[in-house]
Amino acid sequence: MAANYDFQTLLSLNDFEILIRDLLSRELEIELRAFSEGADQGVDLRYSIDPSNTTVVQCKRTKSITEKKLELEARKVAKLAVVNYYLAISSELSLKKTDQILRVFSRWVKRTEQSIVLLSRGCPRTGQNSLEAAYR
């Protein structure tokens, strides 16, 4: 059984972004870059070998996320030259919320595995049984 982590109490916002950076860099076999805290235009992590091949990751360490907030993030992403987009979120997602995310970000995302990195129950993208195993 996968562990259940409460990232709101375990990690600062910056630490959560660094965790996502390390996990996704390993998973995608690229080097994602993290940026300093502050207004980020919808970009917490980025990989860019040239303007036509940009991967953007938005990290949300939150207990819940509203559709209004998702739409705000999508408007930010629309202003960028994004080829691959990932939303890393620490909260549990219902089927309705997952479908909402896919709809709001449909311009950049074609399937759930590409868009949503859910860490509160281990690290399903890597098939690991626990976050510790995925973070070795």
pLDDT value of position 1? 46
d(CA 86, CA 114): 6
Interior/surface letters 64-92, b for 16+ CB within 10 angstroms, e for the rest? ebeeeebeebbeebeeeebebbbbbbbbe
Give the model's confidence band at 52: pLDDT under 50 very low, under 70 low, under 90 confident, else very high.
Answer: low
H/E stretch holding 95 reads helix 95-104
The residue among 98 and 130 whose pLDDT is bigger is: 98
pLDDT value of position 68? 93
Q: Does residue 55 have a pLDDT over 80?
A: yes
Q: What is the mean pLDDT of the chain?
A: 75
d(CA 4, CA 12): 17
CA distances from 115 to 9, 37, 98 (A): 24, 22, 10
Enumerate residues 6+ apart whose C-beta is below 8 A from 26. 126, 134
Give the model's confidence band at 132: pLDDT under 50 very low, under 70 low, under 90 confident, else very high.
Answer: very low
Domains of the chain: 7-134 (3.40.1350)
Least confident range of 19-28, 72-81, 125-134 = 125-134
How do strand 45-50 and strand 33-34 relate by DSSP bridges?
A: antiparallel
How do residues 101-130 score in pLDDT, each as one tens digit?
888 988 887 666 655 665 544 444 444 433
Q: Does residue 136 have a pLDDT over 50?
A: no
* Residue keyed to tokens 């595995």: 113
Is residue 119 within 8 A of residue 133, CB to CB? The reply is no
